Amino acid sequence: MNASAAELSDDWGDISDAELLNMQSEYLGTALPLPLADSGSKVAKELDSTGKRVEPKMAAVCAEEPGHSASPRKRRRPGLGRNPMERFWRTHLSVTEVCGQTWCELQVAYGYELPHVGRIKEESAEVKIGASIHLIRELEVHKVVEVQVLSREDRQAVTFLNLLSMIPPLQAGNLVRELPVFGLLEGVFLAGVIDELHYSEKGELVLNELKTRRDNALPGPAQVKGHSLQVRLYKLLFDSLVRGDLKRDHVITHLRLRPGRALGAGVLEHAGKLSIQVSTFGELLDLLLMNLSYCELPPIDRLSLEYCHQGSAMHIGTQDVPFAEPQLRVELRNYLSYWSGHREPRRGH
């Protein structure tokens, strides 16, 4: 259900996660298909021009420089005298972009300088196989409908409706998949999508992230480093959301959205089916913030990485990921220091 600001795959033979499916959702005006949970809740998904389902990515909301086309080929070359956030016209980042830095920061930068390279990657056989495995998992709990979006506010509204629709199943102790998370961390707005949340037999809330691999073996330490960072950042964002830490200004300022903007007919129709009565983006945002403040959902207790073989779709293994917030924030500040221009990008392994 979400496409990430050009959330990047890695070069390690893995498919990063469901967020990879968002690579082509840079543009507005597409129809958003909504996977409907068996319980009746609805989760929005996006279709690209070929009909492939991709995540509605938050980075697409405001990655353009004012006065310039959304097409990378028509943009002028990013200015070299500014920090990366300014040069690449970013006001926020996707989680997978930050995780890509663990492998090679130059590759992340080249993804903006040479966007056609990313388009070649997304057409690879590995990406397509990984996408199909994620789709099979998703269809176990969701059906798909379409929601027409007409504006940036509509796109973000779909993400908010997705999250709102998943709060009741989580409160009831049920499994949910592709749950959007976002928020302000260390001064930068980050966004991503959690593959799966479920409760263990002990009542623990478990985050399970699916990774598909070309090789029928667990990944090496360099690959696990990026995967581990990803799920730890997801926990940090989710826990912050359910604590009610997200503020109205965080969303409006960092995503450059207009709270007074009327929502499109397609979004309003979908909201009505969820028994949500709103008319503007700001009203929906306020409703989301209120629900998050009073939902009383627990923080995530366990982080798990599940590896699956692309060729056979067979389970390879599962690894638990330890979490220590002070250490994670030190790592995050280090990665974000590149985006703020405090250091040069580092080469990969």
What is the model's pLDDT at position 140?
66
pLDDT the model gives residue 6? 28
Tell me the helices (H) and strands (E) count for the chain, helix number first.
Answer: 11, 11
| Element at 166 (helix H, strand E) | helix 152-171
Residues in the chain: 349
User: The domain containing residue 80 runs over which residues?
Assistant: 14-339
Low-confidence stretches of the chain (pLDDT < 70) are 1-81, 115-140, 143-144, 348-349
The closest alpha carbon to 45, from 130, 196, 133, 146, belongs to: 146
Strand spans (E) along 186-273: 188-199, 205-213
Q: What is the DSSP string of 62-75?
A: S-SPTTS-SSGGGS
What values do phi and psi take at 55, rounded to 5? -75, 140
Domain count, the chain: 1
Residue 126 maps to a domain: yes
Task: Judge whether 144 lies within some domain.
Answer: yes
pLDDT at 38: 43
Q: What is the rounded CA–CA span in Å between residue 306 and residue 234?
A: 15
Does the residue 169 lie in any domain? yes
Q: What is the pLDDT of residue 122?
A: 52
Quote the pLDDT of residue 25. 34
The predicted pLDDT at position 106 comes to 86
pTM (two decimals): 0.77
pLDDT of residue 14: 38
| Any domain includes 230 | yes
Note whether residue 1 is domain-resident. Answer: no
Q: Is residue 347 part of a domain?
A: no
Give how far the C-alpha of residue 10 lies from the chain's centroid of Cα atoms, to the nearest Å: 15
Q: Tell me if 251 is assigned to some domain.
A: yes
Strands 205-213 and 302-309: parallel
